[in-house]
Structure 1
Amino acid sequence: MSNPSQEARALTVTFGLPWPDLNDGLFYKDVVRASDSELTVIQFYSKKYKNSAPLQGWLQRIQNGQITIDGGVVRDPSTTLSEQFIRWTKRQRNRTEDLCLVEIGSELVYHRLPWKEPDAPHWLEIIYEDDDMIALNKPSGLQVLPGGLFQQRTVLTQLLWRATKLSPSLMCHEPHPTPVHRLGRGTSGLLLCAKTKLAKTQLAAYFADGTSHIGGSSIEYSKTSSELGTVRKILKIYRALVTGIVCENKVNVNQPIGIVQYPGVAKGLYVASPSGKPALSKVEVLERDRNKNCTLVQVEIQSGRPHQIRIHLAFIGHPLLGDPLYVVGGGPQCSDSEYVDDSFALDGGFLRPTKPVPGDCGYSLHAHQVTLSHITTNELIIISAPLPPNLRTRKEVQEIGMR
């Protein structure tokens, strides 16, 4: 087949540093505003960060000395954020008490103490790199960006550590490589990262354009590079193993995706919803295994809604094999949105949810291939992430065995 596209040369470079036992904790900064002036410290935090901890948890954090106002520790939860003198204990040498004015514009800081994050792989493989971008092969179990329990054990952290190791002065002068899209923690495969601000802007626009123009044509390989402006600039192909036997060889799923309240997910859970935002997935059957009652499929996503493939395949009656969250219909196994658990962990925050959440792993989904118009040369390139053994067709397994 003749076309202007080029299969990107595969690299075998791996990198990654082991995770420390504890992360560095976090500092959440706020500024006292006029609208906050009548609130107490406990009212401010339990209202603004109600998804972080229950009331008793915030009381524990305040009394533990994890809140400061303009650098001074505040342990009295009834301290009012108004223009008045208050008294706090300042544990520094032999000084026990100081006076400080809490006024509009004062800085409040909550220090979340360091904690041990759940286990996560740390090795990453570089499968493509040039002056503008890096393509990584992300392992299942590694989160892309900080969030929830994972603030350090992420792809972003490993990219930062690698950039600092390669050029210690990089942090002071240039941005380090940054992921331009997300993959679920349990999803493996190809992750694009930008090395410059311009690359980040353009690659982000590629992904956003695909989502905002659902229904457009796929990339046509017969097009010349000068004609690519009339079609999508990026095409994403995934492999997945689903439960049951998919009867049709090809299925287009255009079910909208919306958000519902769900315990343990502060901003809500993405589900199949008639009132949601448009989404389109093109599913093609590669192989059916009637003995194991599962089907190997290829999925092209034209939009990029969170957990789109998991939701769409579940919506058509074929959830991903091993998916702990999404079931037939495109919703969660349990949708008890009214349930609230006020128990809290040692740091005052909510305990880890006992019900499945989006970051739980166990399913088989792999970002296999990206075809894109290069942001600098406009050349059409194809980047592929090696397939896990359980997502290869019998023919692909035989071909690998013959090498």
Structure 2
Amino acid sequence: MKPAAFNDGWTYRDRVPVGAAGTWLSCWLAERYQHSAGEVWRQRIHSGELDCNGQRLTADRRLAGGEAVLWRRPPWLEEAIPDQWETIHDDGDLLVINKPSGLPVMPGGGFLLHTLTALLEPTGARPVHRLGRFTSGLQVCARDPMTRAALSKQFRPEGSCRKVYQAWAQRVPGLEQGQTLTVTNDVVERQHPLLGWVWGPEPLKQEPIRKRLTARSELELLERTAEGDRLQVTITTGRPHQIRIHLAQLGSPLLGDPLYLLNREISATATPGDGGYRLHAWQLSGLPHLGETTLQVDPSVEGDQALRNSINREK
């Protein structure tokens, strides 16, 4: 494990649109970055953390539109993360690892240096796609930028990549052994009090939707227990949190999922980066760089116990 530690802070840059002319800077920032209220942004301005057009600010100001805004975020504490993994394939360029649950792939959600991207930096490899922080399994990386670009195309909906996951969910009604259930509902962007907007299932009640993306998942039942179903889920579209959202759409969220709830509801206090569920990237095929090879890494026994502990904490 890599212990919790402070980073060196980070500088964020943005450009104010012309349409924001006349708006207070703190109000514009609060609207754009809804993780912080206007009063918090005003405190940051008064502390000298923000520049506008190269000038350090000490007081809030009205915008003219077009300004270059810079925020020097002070160092913050990053959580402890697992920093060891199994290498599944490495040919000197293409690198495929078995990512442990709990390791963020890229910066975001409070993580900057405690990420797979940062840990891989000495090797020259960088992630091609992004598994969720608490999703374990096959994570594809590459060292050559041209290889990363070519592989990235294969992970898009029109690409050849076939991704198969194992998911532990509440019982899926009507799904029996030997059957395949295809889910084609869109994933939609819904309002969220902490994040502003978050991807989720179609709501049962009418509410604002900012954007929608087509998605396709194929479900097969691998095992049914008193706790729920272990599913094989095959996807080609790879939308944000697609498997979690499609299972919530069916009324069978992942066991222990703190964000996507029954009745297609979304928790007002959780975020996509919160854990408690179990999802494993199990098989990967269709990548030209691997030929006819199908990569597979089975889920760990430790993950089963962690899920049981999570479920027991909820009871």
State whether TM-score is above 0.5.
Answer: yes
Moved more, 260-269 or 197-206: 260-269
Ranked by relative contact order (alpha carbons within 8 Å, sequence separation 6 or more), the top structure is 1
Mapped to 2, the partners of 1:299 and 1:192 lie a distance apart of 18
Distance 1:242 1:75, change over 3 A: same
Match of 1:119 in 2: 80
Q: Deviation string for 1:145-166 (max 9, x for gaps)?
A: 1112122221111111x32xxx
The answer to whether the Cα contact below 8 Å between 2:2 and 2:80 also exists between their aligned partners in 1 is: no
> Quick one: percent identity of the two aligned structures?
33
Mapped to 1, the partners of 2:274 and 2:19 lie a distance apart of 39
Mapped to 2, the partners of 1:333 and 1:62 lie a distance apart of 31
Moved more, 27-36 or 293-302: 27-36
Q: What is the aligned counterpart of 2:176 among 228, 238, 248?
A: 248
Moved more, 235-244 or 23-32: 23-32
Distance 1:281 1:67, change over 3 A: same
- Give runs of aligned pairs for residues 332-371 of structure 1, distance below 5 A: 332-333=266-267, 355-371=269-285
Give the residue type in structure 2 aligned to 1:199: T
- Give runs of aligned pairs for residues 137-148 of structure 1, distance below 5 A: 137-148=98-109
Mapped to 2, the partners of 1:33 and 1:311 lie a distance apart of 33
Match of 1:389 in 2: 301
Moved more, 105-114 or 303-312: 105-114
Mapped to 2, the partners of 1:243 and 1:252 lie a distance apart of 17
Q: Secondary structure at the match of 2:155?
A: helix
Q: Secondary structure at the match of 2:72?
A: strand
Q: Secondary structure at the match of 1:236?
A: strand
Moved more, 22-31 or 256-265: 22-31
Q: What is the aligned counterpart of 2:138 among 166, 176, 190?
A: 190
- Give runs of aligned pairs for residues 2-401 of structure 1, distance below 5 A: 18=2, 21-30=5-14, 41-42=25-26, 45-46=29-30, 49-69=32-52, 72-78=55-61, 108-160=69-121, 162-163=122-123, 176-208=124-156, 211-212=157-158, 233-244=160-171, 247-249=175-177, 250=179, 251-272=181-202, 276-289=212-225, 292-333=226-267, 355-375=269-289, 379-389=291-301
Mapped to 1, the partners of 2:167 and 2:30 lie a distance apart of 42
| Unaligned residue ranges in structure 1 (runs of 5+) | 1-16, 83-103, 164-175, 213-231, 335-354, 393-403
Distance 1:293 1:74, change over 3 A: closer
The answer to whether the Cα contact below 8 Å between 2:172 and 2:250 also exists between their aligned partners in 1 is: no
How big is the shift at 1:386?
3.4
Q: Deviation string for 1:225-274 (max 9, x for gaps)?
A: xxxxxxx6221111112223654222222222111111222342322369
How big is the shift at 1:327?
2.4
Q: Deviation string for 1:171-210 (max 9, x for gaps)?
A: xxxxx322121211111111111221211111111111xx
The answer to whether the Cα contact below 8 Å between 2:151 and 2:287 also exists between their aligned partners in 1 is: no
The answer to whether the Cα contact below 8 Å between 1:136 and 1:192 also exists between their aligned partners in 2 is: yes
Give the residue type in structure 2 aligned to 1:368: W
The answer to whether the Cα contact below 8 Å between 1:255 and 1:273 also exists between their aligned partners in 2 is: no
Mapped to 2, the partners of 1:52 and 1:324 lie a distance apart of 18
How big is the shift at 1:122?
2.1
Distance 1:266 1:125, change over 3 A: farther
Distance 1:41 1:319, change over 3 A: closer
The answer to whether the Cα contact below 8 Å between 1:187 and 1:365 also exists between their aligned partners in 2 is: yes
Distance 1:262 1:18, change over 3 A: same
Mapped to 1, the partners of 2:82 and 2:94 lie a distance apart of 23
Give the residue type in structure 1 aligned to 2:266: P
Mapped to 2, the partners of 1:253 and 1:76 lie a distance apart of 51
Distance 1:267 1:45, change over 3 A: same
Distance 1:73 1:261, change over 3 A: same
Provide the aligned C-alpha RMSD in A.
Answer: 2.9
Mapped to 2, the partners of 1:286 and 1:68 lie a distance apart of 55
Mapped to 1, the partners of 2:167 and 2:191 lie a distance apart of 27
How big is the shift at 1:121?
1.9
How big is the shift at 1:106?
7.3
The answer to whether the Cα contact below 8 Å between 2:109 and 2:273 also exists between their aligned partners in 1 is: no
Give the residue type in structure 2 aligned to 1:119: A
For the pair shown, the structure with the greater C-alpha radius of gyration is 1
Moved more, 176-185 or 267-276: 267-276
| Unaligned residue ranges in structure 2 (runs of 5+) | 305-315
Distance 1:308 1:331, change over 3 A: farther
Mapped to 1, the partners of 2:25 and 2:146 lie a distance apart of 42
Mapped to 2, the partners of 1:33 and 1:326 lie a distance apart of 34
